[in-house]
Amino acid sequence: MSERELYQVKEYILFPVIIDVLHHDIQKLQKTSLKMGDAYISQLRSMEHHVYKDFYKLRQTLKKNGIGVYQQKRDEHGITAKYCCRGYHHQSVMMWEYIKAQLHSKFVYYLTTN
């Protein structure tokens, strides 16, 4: 398994977390009475659209390369994922500290590219 493919698997694991955070933040904003709340929600929904689009592209790429993530487990330490790459089974563990750092980078990327 190449470094690029491992990176793609980690990205695949991160996308659902990004989506969960976006949904959470949108719900929080909907319950507040900010003067510009609708503008913030609109920006987050736009970001959500781009995240879903990139997630779909990544799933297609993984499928084309014979990689499938078949199990993910979240616990207090992080996320453990099991995946198969061209018939060989692997496991990847990402700690929450790493995930939070990656989420920050991803959010900055999506906020500045929209």
Tell me the average pLDDT across 59-77. 95
pLDDT at 114 over 80: no
78-85, strands of its sheet edge to edge? 67-74, 78-85, 88-95
3-30 and 96-113 helices, crossing angle to 10°: 70
Q: What are phi and psi of 37, to 5 degrees?
A: -55, -40
Query: Tell me: the pLDDT tens digits for 5-23?
Result: 999 999 999 999 999 999 9
Tokens 């500290």: give the residue. 97
Tell me the average pLDDT across 51-71. 96
- The DSSP bridge partners found for residue 73 are 80
Give which of 112, 110, 88 is closest to 15, Cα–Cα: 110
Cα–chain center distance at 75:
17
- Whole-model pTM: value is 0.88
Burial of residue 40 (CB within 10 Å: 0-12, 13-18, 19+) is middle
